[in-house]
Structure 1
């Protein structure tokens, strides 16, 4: 077998592979033997069909299968032997004829990582937000924490109002006929939650305990049950109980429910966490400014396969976060196509950034010490309160370990770049300023 590798572009290589005649002959012979075992030709017993008849009836199929087999057996070996590291599936661009006692030649093109030489990466001029922490954030977060402990209690008020939770019995009718799944007893409904048919909750507001009422609504045209969509309906409703939200007082007792000794300690904990979160946001923004500057100064092509892989990673990560919140992409009205359209530019920037960082690491001979990896695993174990051996076992997976090392090396390169950069601290941008910038970018 002979292989010629041609550089088509900075992101694509072409392999011209010639398979020796004896290998081709052996593949064809094996194909015709298999065909002979199952050949069903009138006048001949299975396994006794002459070769000429086999070639006449099964020749095209045997040759087709032989071509596929030869490509499968030689393409990836050729890539490995010639150190061609593909970032996506190879594409067969040309296949020659396959004949006994003749070599077989075919061509394939593969996308590869571009070999770049990063430039203008030291002495970058960057802006970093000044940390202006507003203690009002602490009070807001504690109020939210208190809201999470809200309980429902029977109200002394006679009438239901928005925000109340009512216990109701109801039965729905269309043209005076009850419809399937249109009735319930002791149903708990929060007024104003918009969880029921539009207009229903508004008409329950103001009802009293033990009051019965007929409520008229229209099912939306887009309603899930097609037999109900767009139709007018009448519901007979009985309000059995009215409950209101009772928020706990913000005091030492509340603090103890969140694991603090008193309110002062809870405020300090919330403040520390909020400060760390804000510091993390500012750091992430600085790194994003750094990466944007690098990408702007280093123009190069990237293979579509790497973009698609990054989009897949982003989608998986985003989907996992949504799943933890009981949501999905579909619930946000997104599918694979719309996700790719929305996040493509982000994927492109991330791929370019990673390639630039890899290049800088090589150019500056920045390496990762094994001891640093050990320390990182120990930190993971401490943070998650898990045994170190369990963490190490997880990173026995080659892909997981490579991902960890890649992330740590990138962090080391970013640290090197920030040390050489000129960083100017600036006041945080106001929301209206950010909106103006977004409009300018879009226009």
Structure 2
């Protein structure tokens, strides 16, 4: 097989491929075996018609498309490897020649991963972040734990207020006609949570146990169910029960209930240490984010739209998975928020572009500095994952291999090593100094959004795990 690559503009090029005639013949054989199983030829059972009779009746050309479908993915992959390119989108394939006894020739117009022109990435200044835990932060954490361990107590003689949980029946209709999903019995709704259509919860505030009320609301114009978008709806609401949070006292008994300590003083001291550790993790993530953002802005790279759209796809999918872990899904979220998928994708566009840019720059730095991932590092990663998921390292490896994710694991480790390298070669300066320099450079800087790197995502996950561990205690 012969393959040549010619760049025609920016990140676009043409891959020209010629495949030997004997491979065309082999693909035609496979195509015939496939087609013969369903070919209906008088005098022969399906799958038993001889090849010459099949070609005489239907023509060898009837096998061409199936043969191309069999051969093209295989030789395209080989040609990509042979020319050492990195496609980031589906190719536009133009078949120039495909016939029995002749070579297979095709051209593919391909968008490839862009080249990165690195700017300054060593000695970059990043703001110092304090990790000292203030008394206010400690008290705020204690209040959060109070809220988490509060008991819901039934309120019989007072009207509902924000923060209360009401147990209600509701029956919704538009122009007197009930609509799907608009009815429920004994539904628990926390007032002020903003989980219902705007205006609904506010009208339930002030109702008492046993009260009835017609709640009138208007669906947002961007509501996901088009037949309801912009329509006025009436919900007949009945209040069965009102529950209010009763906070526990902050005393030694509270400390015993939520921790392994016997006194509140001991618990507060330990909590302060945990908050300090958490702040150190957050500070490291903040330094990493600021550093990678600056280095990304210093580089020059033209990002293909396909890469940004692909990252948006990943972000939407991850968001949906997080919602499902909380008992929701994307459709429910869009309904409650009055947004469309396009609205959500639009909000993620800037962040996606920044993530792609930063990761491309980090990959280029890793290549320039010859940073590589060792097998021992991959094994350590697999062992850590195995411990976290209560599996064996071999099971984790097999799962990743089956999902085609082993390469992604290598990339994740490489990105982390590169960020560590950049941190070691950065300069930490007072936040005020860094802010002043940022303002001076702002007119030349490109607009970006928060949280763009894989390292930041990991830091967010680490933070969540630390909070959950604290709550369990």
TM-score, length of structure 2 as denominator length:
0.69
Instruction: State the distance in 2 between where 1:38 and 1:60 align.
Output: 17
Q: Which moved more, 1:118-127 or 1:80-89?
A: 80-89
Which of 353, 359, 362 does residue 348 from structure 1 map onto? 353
**Equivalent residue of 2:259, what SS?**
coil
Q: Which residue in the other structure is 1:3 paired with?
A: 3
Q: Deviations over 1:12-58 (max 9, x none)?
A: 442222234455466568767987887668xx756599879947x65
Q: CA deviation at 1:299?
A: 0.7
Q: Which residue in the other structure is 1:266 paired with?
A: 267
Which of 414, 417, 425 does residue 412 from structure 1 map onto? 417
Q: CA deviation at 1:343?
A: 1.9
The aligned runs of 1:16-415 (5 Å cut-off) are 16-21=16-21, 23-24=23-24, 54=56, 58=59, 61-92=62-93, 94-116=94-116, 118-131=118-131, 133-153=133-153, 158-162=157-161, 205=206, 207=208, 215-218=213-216, 220=218, 230=232, 244-261=244-261, 262-333=263-334, 336-373=341-378, 384=388, 390-391=392-393, 393-395=395-397, 397-398=400-401, 401-415=406-420
Asked if structure 1 preserves the Cα contact closer than 8 Å seen for 2:88 and 2:306, the reply is yes
Consecutive unaligned residues of structure 2, counting only runs of 5 or more, are 449-473
What's the RMSD between the two structures over aligned residues? 4.9
Q: CA deviation at 1:136?
A: 0.9
Q: CA deviation at 1:414?
A: 2.3
Q: CA deviation at 1:369?
A: 4.5
Asked if structure 1 preserves the Cα contact closer than 8 Å seen for 2:17 and 2:107, the reply is yes
Q: Deviations over 1:187-231 (max 9, x none)?
A: 767666778896798578475x7xx666444465679897xx746
**Equivalent residue of 1:14, what SS?**
strand
Instruction: State the distance in 2 between where 1:350 and 1:180 align.
Output: 39
Q: Which moved more, 1:358-367 or 1:44-53?
A: 44-53
Q: Which moved more, 1:109-118 or 1:358-367?
A: 109-118
Asked if structure 1 preserves the Cα contact closer than 8 Å seen for 2:151 and 2:245, the reply is yes
Q: Deviations over 1:369-417 (max 9, x none)?
A: 54455555666677x4x76x73564245345554444333333322332
Asked if structure 2 preserves the Cα contact closer than 8 Å seen for 1:173 and 1:233, the reply is yes
Instruction: State the distance in 1 between where 2:332 and 2:299 align.
Output: 38
Asked if structure 1 preserves the Cα contact closer than 8 Å seen for 2:170 and 2:236, the reply is no
TM-score, length of structure 1 as denominator length:
0.72
How many residues matched? 422
Instruction: State the distance in 1 between where 2:396 and 2:279 align.
Output: 31
Q: Which residue in the other structure is 1:15 paired with?
A: 15
Asked if structure 2 preserves the Cα contact closer than 8 Å seen for 1:220 and 1:230, the reply is yes
Q: CA deviation at 1:249?
A: 0.8
Q: Which moved more, 1:289-298 or 1:360-369?
A: 360-369
Consecutive unaligned residues of structure 1, counting only runs of 5 or more, are none
Q: Deviations over 1:242-264 (max 9, x none)?
A: 65432211111111111231212
**Equivalent residue of 2:122, what SS?**
coil
**Distance change in 2, residues 1:425/1:25 (3 Å):** same
Instruction: State the distance in 1 between where 2:84 and 2:174 align.
Output: 71
**Equivalent residue of 1:366, what SS?**
coil
Q: CA deviation at 1:143?
A: 1.5
Instruction: State the distance in 2 between where 1:183 and 1:256 align.
Output: 43
Instruction: State the distance in 2 between where 1:138 and 1:3 align.
Output: 64
**Equivalent residue of 1:4, what SS?**
strand
Structure with bigger gyration radius: 1
**Equivalent residue of 2:430, what SS?**
strand
Q: Which moved more, 1:356-365 or 1:64-73?
A: 64-73
**Distance change in 2, residues 1:95/1:369 (3 Å):** closer
